[in-house]
A and B are shown apart, each in its own frame.
Chain A
Amino acid sequence: MADEDDQLMEIFLNEVEDLFGTAEGALLRLEETPAAGPEVEELFRVVHTLKSSSAMVGMGTISKHFHLLENLLDRLRNNELAVTRPIVSFLLENLDLLRAMISGSARGDPGAVDADLLAGRQAQLQQLMTGDRSRTEPVPVAVDAAGEFHCFRLGLSFRDDLPDPCPDPLSLLAKLAEIGEIKEVAADLSRLPPYDQIIPEKLYIAWQLVLKTGVTADELQAFFATFGQGHILTIEELSGTPEDGTLPSAPAPPREPREGGDGGEEQPATLEVVTQPPLEPDEERPSGRRQSIRVDAKKLNYLVNLADEMGIVVSVLQNLFAWKAPRHQDAIKKELDGLTKLNREFQERVANVRMSPLAGLFRRFQRIARDTAAARQKQIRVLLHGAEVELDREVIEHIADPLKHMVRNCVDHGIELPEERVAKGKPAEGTVHFSASRTGGRILIQISDDGRGFDITRIRQRAVELGLARPDEPLDRDTLLGLVCSPGFSSASKVTELSGRGVGMDVVKTEVDRLGGHLAIETREGEGTTFTLDLPLTFTLIKALHIRSRDVSYLIPLLGIMTTEPYVRGRAEAIGASQRLFYRHQEEYLPLLDLAEMSRNGTAQVWGREAVVVFLDTGRRRFGLLVDEVLDPQQVVVKSLETNFRGVKGLAGATLLGDGAVALVLDLQAIEEIFLEDSKQTINDPVVRPSPHADQSQNPQRRAATPAVLCRETNTLEVLNRRD
């Protein structure tokens, strides 16, 4: 039953991730054109499915919230409520929240579903649902001379225990200026204690503002609902023109309710908005999804057919072998050729199963670009091309995070503020373009903007400041642009909380290099920048342990590693005429290989050195590998060695480490073969299990060997049996 539940949860997590992606995409499109239409219909269907699915896996509270969102969407699709950007923002933020809750629940976090938080959202939802009276009844509002604006006096304060991270109030004020004109602002420092009593992390300042805006009170509430948790807001609609509003007569900014307080300060008009900080759009994905993937049924059917065909060929071959007739050799060869061809196609098709369209990745970029632009008061439009192009899921996973930095950089530092763009003769709205195309076995992903471009002079100055170039050094444009990808390099004149901290481009380049790709930057000052990632369609990725021997880096596939332990001289024994080394590990002696000796990269100095033994299991045999140093496990892309090195036994390939150094990937099977080849002459040296009563320093050769524990591999046992 537990297995069934796990399976159900696995299916659910895979399904919801896709559904959240679809909903996010629809909302982003809706934000560009806020109107009822196919996007709202699609959203309704998605939220309906999410409601049912979450109920099915026992997430009742979450299902209920989806139900309420579904009600809102129902009203939108029936034109009972207007689609507005605040509503779109509210829906985006709610979906982020629910995605995080589902993720937490799936991880088994008991506090993942915060019912109070959802109740707060539901209250806001109710206000949104009932508050839009624009179509049914006119609302007596204060208007300006043009008769189009509302004027509000806002009181804004913050709870003491603002969570971290949370939007800084200064950012919130900046965003407020996006939806209207702040006619007056007054900071209230009455709660600011004397300096020697101040708690720096606490927030004491509150604000009173007069805002002239085209949005309604409900929309304003929804706007604030999308911000970080813990702000307390009062909204009072003014009856006069903005210029009439005078702050001295205004009520004080709302105070944080105090425990045990008399409540006398609370004003009836106070609207308390308690919200959660907006989640990074793709940092709270439901967990567990990587354990399985959704595969197009056509692809699977093709694989099944191929497997059937291979099975038929194998059957034919078996029959041919059974007849043992020399005359069938040609037929066997023909069938083997056919099998080889089928096998090749099978491998290609299996690799293809891991391919996934870039649409999901592009949608994440679109969301990041949207959020960054909103935070920076910039106007952008996002163009997507080639979202249908497929790329290996592993490649996508690896480039997604670094590319997020690039997208943020594009918007934060590349795209200018609207007034700056207009002054330059550009449209106020900047353009960010994500595109993908396939050329042969490679994929080109481009991220371009029509912003200010890189300042080559500034890059040169920065390179000199950082000691990357001498002041008089002649550096061409490409070299200078290449320096942008140096660790810690940032030419941005302003670092924001979003980007420009000198991290990002080096990470992108490192990751692209690791994937066997190439990063190119084209920029024209004042016109924009294009980043081009040239990536392989697929690659081989393994988890491996980074070790060193005689100052050479190697990687050992984690799958073959049993354990590691510091080398203890007393546990090593040289046995037999060949003085082959064995090492006592728990209850048995295992062959010990010295990597330095194997690679001829030094003389074996086993007896007196500080070293580590890595115990390996190839599935056929277990043995120890002596290395100088064990470093950290890594996930690496194995690249084939050049032709000249392919003949080197024991190496599966090479990879680039995070610091750019090359490391050799060990082929454990091949190493085992080397060991077995070597051991042919010393086959009398069995792997032995020491007697628990024996002196540990005693030579194991003197103890009786038990063939049953010698080795699991058949041919070795055969040798021993022959000897017996």
Chain B
Amino acid sequence: MTRQRFTIHQDADGTFRLAGSLTVEHLDYLKFFLDEHLSRVKNIALDLGGVEYWDVRSLQLLIAYRKALPVGSDWKITGLSAELENILLKSGLKTFLCP
């Protein structure tokens, strides 16, 4: 069984593009990315257009990271598909991730 990939690329304008399946198998990778890359950036822009599925653990990791951002940091989520947005709304997590 092939595990669904999860990838992160950075565009020329600094936007990080997340793609694939944002699930518990990739939490280590996601945390590494948050720790090593995002911590160096003040204005964070995440394009989630390529994310096909996510689970609650990956969401809570992103939410915890956002909450820990220093005052004055910018946090921007773009590219959210209607389905993922719907999941966020149904779970009451939208305001925490995309305030």
Interface of A with B (CB < 8 Å)?
164, 168-170, 173-174, 177, 182, 185-187, 189, 192-196, 198, 200-205, 207, 488, 494-497, 501-503
B residues less than 8 Å from A187 (CB atoms): 91-93, 96
Considering the chains assembled together, what is the distance between the CA atoms of A164 and B23 in angstroms? 12
Interface-central residue, A168, A193, A203, A502, by most chain B CB under 10 Å: A168
B residues less than 8 Å from A205 (CB atoms): 56, 60, 93
Which among A201, A207, A502 is the interface contact of B27 at CB below 8 angstroms?
A201
Beta-carbon contact of A200 and B27 below 8 Å: yes
Q: With A200-B31, A201-B57, A496-B53 as known contacts, state yes or no: A174 contacts B92, CB within 8 Å.
A: no
Considering the chains assembled together, what is the distance between the CA atoms of A541 and B96 in angstroms? 57
Q: With A168-B55, A195-B67 as known contacts, state yes or no: A189 contacts B2, CB within 8 Å.
A: no
Considering the chains assembled together, what is the distance between the CA atoms of A395 and B56 in angstroms? 40
Beta-carbon contact of A494 and B64 below 8 Å: no
Which residue on chain A has the smallest CB distance to residue B25? A164
Interface-central residue, B28, B52, B60, by most chain A CB under 10 Å: B60
Considering the chains assembled together, what is the distance between the CA atoms of A173 and B90 in angstroms? 7
**Shortest beta-carbon contacts, A-B, top 9:** A195-B68, A187-B92, A200-B27, A185-B92, A168-B55, A195-B64, A495-B52, A169-B56, A198-B64
Give the shortest distance, in Å, between B78 (CB) and chain A (any CB): 18
Beta-carbon contact of A189 and B4 below 8 Å: no
Beta-carbon contact of B4 and A495 below 8 Å: yes
Beta-carbon contact of A494 and B83 below 8 Å: yes
Give the shortest distance, in Å, between A172 (CB) and chain B (any CB): 10
Q: With A204-B60, A205-B60 as known contacts, state yes or no: A501 contacts B24, CB within 8 Å.
A: no
A residues less than 8 Å from B27 (CB atoms): 200-201
Which among A174, A193, A195, A488 is the interface contact of B87 at CB below 8 angstroms?
A174
Beta-carbon contact of A503 and B56 below 8 Å: no
B residues less than 8 Å from A503 (CB atoms): 1-2
Which residue on chain A has the smallest CB distance to residue B88? A170
Considering the chains assembled together, what is the distance between the CA atoms of A503 and B3 in angstroms? 10
Interface of B with A (CB < 8 Å)?
1-2, 4, 20-21, 23-24, 27-28, 30-31, 34, 52-57, 59-61, 63-65, 67-68, 81, 83, 87, 90-93, 96
Considering the chains assembled together, what is the distance between the CA atoms of A192 and B53 in angstroms? 22
Which residue on chain A has the smallest CB distance to residue B89? A185
Beta-carbon contact of B56 and A168 below 8 Å: yes
Which residue on chain B has the smallest CB distance to residue A171? B55
Give the shortest distance, in Å, between A81 (CB) and chain B (any CB): 33
B residues less than 8 Å from A185 (CB atoms): 90-92
Interface-central residue, A186, A189, A502, by most chain B CB under 10 Å: A189
Considering the chains assembled together, what is the distance between the CA atoms of A501 and B20 in angstroms? 10
Beta-carbon contact of A189 and B91 below 8 Å: no
Which among A169, A196, A497 is the interface contact of B23 at CB below 8 angstroms?
A497
Beta-carbon contact of A501 and B28 below 8 Å: no
Interface-central residue, A164, A195, A488, A494, by most chain B CB under 10 Å: A195
A residues less than 8 Å from B81 (CB atoms): 494
B residues less than 8 Å from A201 (CB atoms): 24, 27, 57
Interface-central residue, B4, B57, B59, by most chain A CB under 10 Å: B57
Considering the chains assembled together, what is the distance between the CA atoms of A194 and B54 in angstroms? 21
Beta-carbon contact of B2 and A488 below 8 Å: yes
Interface-central residue, B20, B28, B61, by most chain A CB under 10 Å: B61
Beta-carbon contact of B60 and A170 below 8 Å: no
Which residue on chain B has the smallest CB distance to residue A405? B1
A residues less than 8 Å from B30 (CB atoms): 200
Beta-carbon contact of B63 and A207 below 8 Å: no
Considering the chains assembled together, what is the distance between the CA atoms of A403 and B44 in angstroms? 44
B residues less than 8 Å from A497 (CB atoms): 21, 23, 53
